């Protein structure tokens, strides 16, 4: 009689294990279906992101100064270059650069002194220094990323350090002589 009891208990345990596993499996699968719609509702759709744009009035930016704005929830730097900064950018042989772009490639005709870049280091996404008054600009006079030491020149091009590419120039246009619309 005692042997029979053990056998029944064993069978009972195996059954419960199986039921537990089945229940966890069902919860897991259900979880995917329940969580996915919530996540997709929270994240802005691509259409919403594409539609968002930022206007910046550049008239108050003095030569050598930059202002920080926000574009698509990320820092945006808008700088008015001095003649010396323009000359420094143009004195560099574009072909020698890691990410070969001229100042002309990165600015608009008639507004070569206005440099619009994302304030996001292309290495791992830190915000470079140099846009605010008194911040270190790095060895090439533009922006400096303190996270791992990337140096960007006066045209926002990568010159030294681990960042692979220049600071991104977002899509933008001048809607008047003094106002740019980014995005």
**Any idea which residues carry the catalytic annotation?**
148
- Nearest by Cα to 74 from 46, 57, 51, 52: 52
What is the C-alpha to C-alpha distance for residues 171 and 62, in angstroms, rounded to an integer? 23
- Does the footprint of ligand FES cover residue 147 (CB under 6 A)? yes
Residue of 50, 124, 132, 136 that binds ligand FES (CB under 6 A): 124
Residue from the set 9, 148, 171, 175 that interacts with ligand FES by CB under 6 A: 148
- Tell the smallest beta-carbon distance from residue 103 to ligand FES (Å): 22
- Paired tokens of 171: 């899509």
Please report, as residue ranges, which positions from 64 to 93 form the binding site for ligand FES (by CB under 6 A): none
Whichever of 30 and 125 has its CB closer to ligand FES, that residue is 125
CA-wise closest residue to 178 among 119, 132, 113? 113
Residue 31: how many other CB atoms lie within 10 Å:
10
Give yes or no for residue 123 binding ligand FES (CB under 6 A).
Answer: yes
Choices 20-28, 35-43, 66-74, 161-169 (CB under 6 A): range interacting with ligand FES: 161-169
166 binds ligand FES (CB under 6 A): no
Would you count residue 163 as binding ligand FES (CB under 6 A)? yes
* Three-class SS state of 75: strand
- Where does this chain touch ligand FES (CB under 6 A) — which range of 47-55, 72-80, 104-112, 122-130? 122-130
- 121 part of the interface to ligand FES, by CB under 6 A: yes
**Size, binding site for ligand FES by CB under 6 A:** 13
Scanning the structure block, which residue is given the tokens 């143009």? 90
Neighbour tally for 29: CB within 10 Å: 10
**Contact indicator for 35, 57 with CB cutoff of 8 Å:** no
Q: Where are the alpha helices (DSSP H) in the chain?
A: 2-42, 46-51, 83-90, 103-106
| Footprint of ligand FES (CB under 6 A) | 121, 123-126, 145, 147-150, 161-163
């Amino acid at each position: 009689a005692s042997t029979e009891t053990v056998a029944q208990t064993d069978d009972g345990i195996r059954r419960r294990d199986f039921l537990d596993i089945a229940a966890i499996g069902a919860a897991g699968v259900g979880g995917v279906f329940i969580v996915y719609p919530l996540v997709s509702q929270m994240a802005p759709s691509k259409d919403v992101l594409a539609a968002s744009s930022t206007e910046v009035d550049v008239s108050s930016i003095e030569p050598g100064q930059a202002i920080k704005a926000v574009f698509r929830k990320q820092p945006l730097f808008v700088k008015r270059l001095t003649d010396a900064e323009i000359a420094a950018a143009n004195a560099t042989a574009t072909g020698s650069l890691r990410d070969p772009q001229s100042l002309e490639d990165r600015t608009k005709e008639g507004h070569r002194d206005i440099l619009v870049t994302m304030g996001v280091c292309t290495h791992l996404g830190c915000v470079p220094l140099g846009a605010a008054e008194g911040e270190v600009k790095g060895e090439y006079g533009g922006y400096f990323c303190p996270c791992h030491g990337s140096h960007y020149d006066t045209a926002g091009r990568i010159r030294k350090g681990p960042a692979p590419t220049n600071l991104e120039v977002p899509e933008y246009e001048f809607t008047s002589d003094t106002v740019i619309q980014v995005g």
